[in-house]
Structure 1
Amino acid sequence: MNYTPGPSVQKRQQLQFPWESPPENGHWQTVAEGVVWLRMPLPFGLDHINLYLLQHDDGWVVVDTGLGTEQSREVWERVFREVMGGAPVKAVIATHFHHDHAGCLGWLARRFKCPVYMTHGEYHALFISPPEEDEPNWEFSQFYARSGVSEERQQDFLRVVRAGSFEQDVPTSYNRLIHEQVLRIGGRDWQIVIGSGHSPEHACLYCHEDRLFISGDQVLPGITSSVCVAVTEPEANPLKNWLDSIERLRGISDEVLVLPAHERPFYGLHCRLHQLTEHHHKHLDAMLGQLDDPKTADQMMAFIFPRAQSPFDALLANGETLAHLNFLMSEKRITRRLEGECFLYQRAGDAGEPSARTQVTHIS
């Protein structure tokens, strides 16, 4: 399952960062003619998101928006005055639906009466909301029980999900982005490149002529984007979607300046794609090595993510673990059977013929 790097990766063994340090949170800097990097603050351990402003005729096009908080709106008010000089926002592009990328989407669209551009899958994902009841619904309880998560930890997970629900100002209409569509913005042609795995239909923007690539969360230089199975689609195979997306991104020039949603812009796209591929294949190989005997997803999570102790970290780690297990099942490398309320996973062939209770999902 190992990935062998191609010549471009061998040529560039490490990433290169043209800026030694980022602008302070709430501030900005120009990264190319007509392209401004805005570092919007976030109230998390990951304390920022990078947004990009593209100059366009007599106004600007905004790529991603920040959380729907008063702090974000205050930063935007300064940007309207000090960067845009009172010129209007002509359109807002959302790479994907996550709160830090789309929280101010409706607010910006209403303020400037401008269109929103995003993919079909991301727009409709905006309407998925966490459970509102004090007790988890049956889908939530069953999902985590089948992972081997205790009832006490399920309550912790529910509190995390509800506490992490920020205001999502959803626009009432959007213009659909599709793969390889071209947006002409300020004299540049930006090709839409669709990825998946971190979110349903994540849109990246690629300017071939000027070698610029706005990658959103699809490619980050230091941290790895979460690739998770969630309650809303328990049989999903997001890791296959993620790895397929990485293969698609290898078609982009390795000379691009990557403008990511977190951390600093960098050179070395293909090197980073190789690193991300290796990261997940190492997890897959490590899991296989532990599945000679049947284990729960919760047991596998404790092995792969031993430092995930807080409810928030454990919630993400559970989703990542399931993503890897679902991928291995799709490859027929492991089997799964239901014992009581809990799924047990085991290397294929180690337990003889599967029982009638074995459930194997094949996702092409």
Structure 2
Amino acid sequence: MRDGLEDTAAIPEHPRPKLTYPFEQGPKPGEAIDVAPGVKWLRMPLGGALAFINVWAIADRTADGREGWAIVDTGISTPETAQAWRTAFAGALGGRPVTRVFVTHMHPDHIGMAGWITRKFQCRLWITRLEFLMCRSLAADTGREAPADALSFYRAAGWDDDAIETYRARFGGFGRGLHALPDSFQRLTDGDEIRIGDHVWRVVVGSGHSPEHACLWCPELKLMISGDQVLPKISSNVAVFPTEPEGDPLSDWMESLKRIKGRVPDDVLVLPAHNDPFHGLHARIDHLVGGHERGLTRLRQTLAEPKRAVDVFHVLFRRNIDGGLLGLATGESLAHLNWLLARGQAVRERDAQGVDWYRAA
């Protein structure tokens, strides 16, 4: 699933921090911009509101000493993305081989072409274990009918019959954005130190947006590839899904951000998956965490009268939610509601029709 509501950020109440952007414009698909010695910025097309995803090439060496590139994130699997990679390999990346593919997390815009690239260059996928296994699990749903648990989950959130039928028709689409995954991987774990070319990169794991999201931080180059864990202008989707209806991903996400702030210095250049590279990591983390904390306060206030999950969109989002965003908005609203439930700040009651109603405790 794509990161859908990243462009539907929580309602801002405080001014955004004044981040700085050292590059006037980004690369065109298939081209590259040097962001540091041996580190190139490329973009792959996505379409839709996000338009593109940033991917990164880090100068590396093959086992036999040849110069090559380690790729970080890959774009969604489409003919357009494949052509952009072919152009980049032949041009901006100088015809050098890919030594390995790092993937920050399992969403199709990040891992979609990993199988294509690893097979093309006979190299290894590097990813955290939970991201790899979750991706395989979701890809296995391709072509399945929507399970009864999922239908009950969305009815409980307040979906009407038309929305449920649309969900039935669209279910199982995750795998369509993926080239067939590799059958093996090299595991990334939090705190790993990995030499890529001339520099050591440290793995910094977060969660909430996805189960075990890996950022890559190079202290010597003062760079952090942040994936979707920290974005400069949009807020990552943090949602509850039918597979874990009582989950508390918002707590995971905010705790991860605070942990990253404590480990990674503020002087890094952040290389995000969407928007442009920026300086101001700590200010951005403070703004993201504060925005969700303010959203939780507003949500608790609106629960003075019982509400369904679909009744609180206006409290959390700054735009109207249409059918295309209904699932993601519902998931993010439930993440906020579950946060309140877990802390005893709200209670939930299910009516005779199977619909959940929430009110402040």
Instruction: Provide TM-score, normalisation by structure 2.
Output: 0.89
Matched, 1:55 2:59: yes
CA distance in 1, matches of 2:312, 2:142: 26
Aligned counterparts of 1:213 and 1:75: Cα–Cα separation in 2:
24
Equivalent residue for 2:309, pick from 265, 273, 297: 297
Which has the higher mean CA deviation after the structures are superposed, 234-243 or 338-347? Answer: 338-347
5 Å-filtered alignment, 1:221-236, equals 221-236=232-247
Q: How does 1:66-145 map to 2 (within 5 A)?
A: 66-127=75-136, 128-129=138-139, 130=141, 132-133=143-144, 136-145=146-155
Which residue is equivalent to 1:38?
42
**Counterpart in the other structure of 1:343:** 356
CA distance in 1, matches of 2:199, 2:96: 19
CA distance in 2, matches of 1:220, 1:306: 18
1:88 positional shift? 1.0
* CA distances 1:268-320 after superposition (whole Å, capped 9, x unpaired): 00010011011111210111011112211111235433733321222211010
Counterpart AA for 1:51 = V
Contact 1:99 1:166 in 2 (8 A): yes
The residue type equivalent to 1:176 in the other structure is R
1:279 alignment partner AA: G
1:13 CA displacement: 4.6
Residues 122, 131 of structure 1: alpha-carbon distance in 2 compared, 3 angstrom cutoff: same
- Structure 1, unmatched stretches of 5+, are 1-11, 349-364
Match of 1:146, SS state, is helix
Using the alignment, how far apart are the partners of 1:13 and 1:98 within structure 2? 28
Q: Which has the higher contact order (CA 8 A, sep 6+)?
A: 2
- Deviation (angstroms), 1:80: 1.3
CA displacement at 1:39 relative to structure 2: 0.9
- Residue 179 (structure 1) aligns with: 190
Structure 1 residue identity aligned to 2:86: E
Distance 1:302 1:275 in 2: 20
Q: Deviations over 1:49-92 (max 9, x none)?
A: 00000001311100011111111111111111112322211100
CA distance in 2, matches of 1:330, 1:298: 20
> Partners of 1:156 and 1:79 in 2: how far apart?
38
Matched, 1:200 2:230: no
Q: What amino acid does structure 2 have at the position aligned with 1:149?
A: W
Aligned twin of 2:319: 307
Deviation at 1:137, TM superposition (A): 2.5
Partner SS state of residue 85, structure 1: coil
Q: Deviation at 1:27?
A: 2.4
Distance in 2 between residues matched to 1:168 and 1:235, nearest whole Å = 31
Counterpart secondary structure, 2:288: helix
So what's the TM-score if we normalise by structure 1? 0.88
Instruction: Tell whether 2:340 aligns with 1:328.
Output: yes
Give the equivalent residue in structure 2 for 1:8: none
Provide the secondary structure at the position in 2 that maps to 1:52.
strand
Q: Cα distance 1:26–1:312, how it changes in 2: closer, same or farther (>3 A)?
A: farther
Letter aligned with residue 138 of structure 1: A
Partners of 1:283 and 1:159 in 2: how far apart?
32
How far off its partner does 1:160 sit?
A: 4.8
Residues 31, 37 of structure 1: 8 Å contact kept: yes
Task: Tell me by how many angstroms 1:131 deviates.
Answer: 6.1
Aligned pair partner of 2:156 in 132, 135, 146: 146
- C-alpha contact 2:158 2:310 (8 A) present in aligned 1: yes
**Greater displacement, 298-307 / 230-239:** 298-307
Taking the aligned partners of 1:121 and 1:39, their CA distance within structure 2 comes to 26
Amino acid corresponding to residue 75 of structure 1 in structure 2? A
Q: In 1, Cα distance between the equivalents of 2:261 and 2:199?
A: 22
C-alpha distance in 2 between matches for 1:161 and 1:168: 18
Q: Kindly state the Cα deviation for residue 44 of structure 1 after the two structures are TM-superposed.
A: 1.8
Amino acid across the alignment from 2:43: R
CA RMSD of the aligned region, Å? Answer: 1.7
Moved more, 109-118 or 162-171: 162-171
- Asked if the contact 2:30/2:87 (under 8 Å) is kept, the reply is no
Tell me, yes or no, if the aligned pair for 2:129 and 2:188 is still in contact at 8 Å: yes
Going from structure 1 to structure 2, the CA distance change for 1:330 and 1:26 (only over 3 Å counts) comes to same
Asked whether the 8 Å contact 1:68–1:169 carries over to 2, the reply is no
Which residue number corresponds to residue 5 of structure 1? none
Aligned to 1:16: 20
Q: Is the 8 A contact 2:28 2:42 kept in 1?
A: no
Contact kept in structure 2, 1:26 and 1:41, CA below 8 Å: no
Q: Name the counterpart of 1:317.
A: 329
